[in-house]
């Protein structure tokens, strides 16, 4: 009970910090706090496997990707900082819409109360609700097709990323020229880094 409220306050605070942070790096820190609190919330909801997945995939993979891109984009070039603030334009309609939608959710939730079902089995047991065994059986038997489709989606994503961000050589299949020794890219923070980044990839 108390854990829920502490986690809820932490999650809302970190989410607000993520959205209002001055620089993307601060947003990443706020998002990390939010994800960890959400994993704890999953534990409270007896979704043990999802809590672990949340930490591993979100905090371990996606956030690291964000940090890498921030480090790549903001090294040497002008500070990758906030743009103009658009909040005044959308403040009142956004608040009105959010209040309306929130009221709709509240009315719906109050009119149709959920009868909470107690899952069978001891919490934390090997095949209890939300454990790895329970999740795996459901994933590989009744939901096998969605799981396969997931693999397909990931493959499409990988191919898409290679096509979008990879070298042109990877797309056209042309052989890569040998890099001349002594003309390596400079990683020094100078304005020239902008130029070497804009050419795309290592210089021949």
Partner 1 sequence: MSVSPDNFIALSAVLFFIGVAGVVTRRNPLIMLMSIELLFNAANLALVTYARAWANNAGHIFAFLVITVAAAEAAIGLAIVAVTFRRTPFVDVDEVSALKG
70 C-beta neighbours (distance < 10 Å), count: 16
Q: Which of 71, 102, 148, 190 touches partner 1 by CB under 8 A?
A: 102
Q: Which of 52, 55, 70, 185 touches partner 1 by CB under 8 A?
A: 70
The DSSP secondary-structure symbol of 79 reads -
Number of residues written out for the chain: 204
CA pseudo-torsion sign 107, 108, 113, 119: negative
Q: Which of 6, 71, 96, 101 touches partner 1 by CB under 8 A?
A: 101
Contacts to partner 1 from residues 109-138, by CB under 8 A:
109-110, 113-114, 116-120, 129-130, 134-135, 138
62 versus 184: smaller Cβ distance to partner 1: 62
Q: Which of 94, 96, 170, 171 touches partner 1 by CB under 8 A?
A: 94
Stretch that binds partner 1, among 22-30, 171-179, 180-188 (CB under 8 A): 22-30
The DSSP secondary-structure symbol of 204 reads -
Nearest distance, CB of residue 181 and partner 1, angstroms: 25
Rounded to a whole number of angstroms, the distance between the first and last alpha carbons of the chain is 62
145 versus 188: smaller Cβ distance to partner 1: 145
| Pair of tokens at residue 7 | 């986690």
Q: Contact between 21 and partner 1 (CB under 8 A)?
A: yes
Contacts to partner 1 from residues 34-63, by CB under 8 A:
34-35, 38, 41-42, 44-47, 49-50, 53-54, 57-58, 61-62
* Secondary-structure percent of the chain, ordered helix, strand, coil, rounded to 5: 65, 0, 35
# residues near partner 1 by CB under 8 A: 85
How far is Cα 28 from Cα 34, in angstroms, rounded to an integer?
A: 10
Cβ contact 130:47 at 8 Å: yes
């Amino acid at each position: 009970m108390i854990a829920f409220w502490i986690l809820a306050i932490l999650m809302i605070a970190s989410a607000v910090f993520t959205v209002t942070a001055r620089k993307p790096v601060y947003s990443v820190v706020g998002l990390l706090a939010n994800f960890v609190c959400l994993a704890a919330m999953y534990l409270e909801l007896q979704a043990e496997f999802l809590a672990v997945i949340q930490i591993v995939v979100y905090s371990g993979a996606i956030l690291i990707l964000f940090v890498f891109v921030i480090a790549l984009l903001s090294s040497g070039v002008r500070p990758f900082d906030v743009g103009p603030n658009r909040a005044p334009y959308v403040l009142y309609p956004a608040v009105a819409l959010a209040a309306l939608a929130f009221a709709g959710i509240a009315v719906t939730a109050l009119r149709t109360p959920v009868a909470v079902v107690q899952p069978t089995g001891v919490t934390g047991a090997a095949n209890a609700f939300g454990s790895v065994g329970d999740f795996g059986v459901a994933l590989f038997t009744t939901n096998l097709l969605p799981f396969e489709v997931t693999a397909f989606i990931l493959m499409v994503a990988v191919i898409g990323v290679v096509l979008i961000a990879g070298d042109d050589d990877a797309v056209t299949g042309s052989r890569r020229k040998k890099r001349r020794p002594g003309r390596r890219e400079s990683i020094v923070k100078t304005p020239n880094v902008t130029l070497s980044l804009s050419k795309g990839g290592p210089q021949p």
